[in-house]
Structure 1
Amino acid sequence: MLRSLLGFLPWIVYAVIATSDNWRYGAVAGLVIALAVIVADRRAGKDWDQMVIESSAAVFFTVITLISFVSPDSPLMPYGPALVNVWLGITSWGSLAIRKPFTLGIARSMTPPEVWRTPQFYRVNAIITSVWGVSFIVAAVSLAALLHVAPHATAAVLVIKIVTFVAPAVFTARYPKIVEARYAA
């Protein structure tokens, strides 16, 4: 489980660094970490479907890095935390739209192959990905609204970021066990 959360490291680093209005440095750090995680994961034998969040991070941070250097005073800058969650929401819902929830590849690395083709396996991952998607969109809307009215509400921004990350992470850890217990009964 902890290894699968490594994919969120670029986003977490960006969230910490960019909060202090250093969005350029946060974007560069996010990009460097995303690329490093991808390289390390590929060397470790991970397939691309196990690295959806990492790949998404590389694309996002490439774009944000370019914007941050080409237009350092971009009107997007204050909304960086919301943009992250919009992008992650698009990643989540996009993966569901193509019927490949981003959690499938991660879950395959933690379950036996005979489980992978069951409808329950897909359904559990679709539900988990949906929970992440809802959380990302709730965070995006909350952060955009908050940053619009109170651009320097750092503590509130951090609370939203933490809650909207921890809640789906806890759900991700617990939900498969609940489903497994239900089928065992």
Structure 2
Amino acid sequence: MSYVRGFLPWIAFAAVSGVAWQWAALLSLAIGAFFLVKERRAGASADGQILDLGTVVYFTVLTVIAFADPHSPFQDYVSGASSAWLALVAGGSLLVGRPFTLGIAKRSAPPALWQNPVFIRTSTVLAGVWTAAFTLSAIATLLCEATGAVDALRILVQILGFAVPMAFTRHYVKKVRARAVAAAATPAGPVVDPRAFPAAGR
């Protein structure tokens, strides 16, 4: 459940922001900071906490804005801004050659497999899919907010922004693992340990 855990602050904000966005921002900041510290104490590396760091930065800024001016016009676009920030974090990790999905996968994959080309390519593909999903979600959500679309439509867009890439992740990782198992069973095939792909689909 590595991906679900990483997005818990964002899920919490989406659930509470309709009532009081400043307290929702503070709650999400607390959740994000808790997991950031917990994972760091457990020995997590910096590349494994790209999403956690991005989450804490975003909700720190949002908490300051929300409490400084609870009636800020930014409140009307906060959902779209959240998706846009996630797209920036995910896309930025790709641009610097450290896809955030790779760090998540390393949490449970043996260190000996971290340089496996298939392992790295799988993480890169997944990071690209998440980036695309967040980008499309940000555009659609901002359009909903700008046009005053019903909340149900905006919420649906945000749910799809997480659900679609998560479903793709599970499907793609299973497909890659199946290929690895088949290759390992073929004498002439390349040796690819299927243990290289346990975390990405969880």
Q: Could you say whether these structures have the same fold, taking a TM-score greater than 0.5 normalized by the shorter chain as the test? A: yes
Amino acid of the structure 2 residue aligned with 1:165? F
1:155 alignment partner, one of 145, 148, 152: 152
Q: CA deviation at 1:12?
A: 0.6
Deviations 1:54-96 (A, max 9, x none): 1111000011111112232222111111000000000011000
Matches within 5 A, 1:166-185: 166-183=163-180, 184-185=182-183
**Secondary structure, counterpart of 1:76 in structure 2:** helix
Q: CA deviation at 1:4?
A: 4.0
C-alpha change, 1:145 and 1:4, in structure 2 (3 Å) is closer
Amino acid of the structure 2 residue aligned with 1:52? I
- The structure with the largest alpha-carbon Rg is 2
Measured in 1, the distance between the counterparts of 2:49 and 2:173 equals 20
Measured in 1, the distance between the counterparts of 2:117 and 2:155 equals 37
What RMSD, in angstroms, separates the aligned Cα atoms of the two structures? 1.5
- 1:60 corresponding residue in structure 2: 58
Contact 1:92 1:133 in 2 (8 A): yes
2:26 alignment partner, one of 15, 28, 31: 28
Contact 1:7 1:51 in 2 (8 A): no
- Structure 1 unaligned segments of length 5 or more: list them: none
Higher helix share: 1
Q: CA deviation at 1:174?
A: 2.0
* Identity between Structure 1 and Structure 2 (%): 35
- Structure 2 unaligned segments of length 5 or more: list them: 184-202
Structure 1 length normalisation: TM-score? 0.92
Q: CA deviation at 1:21?
A: 5.1
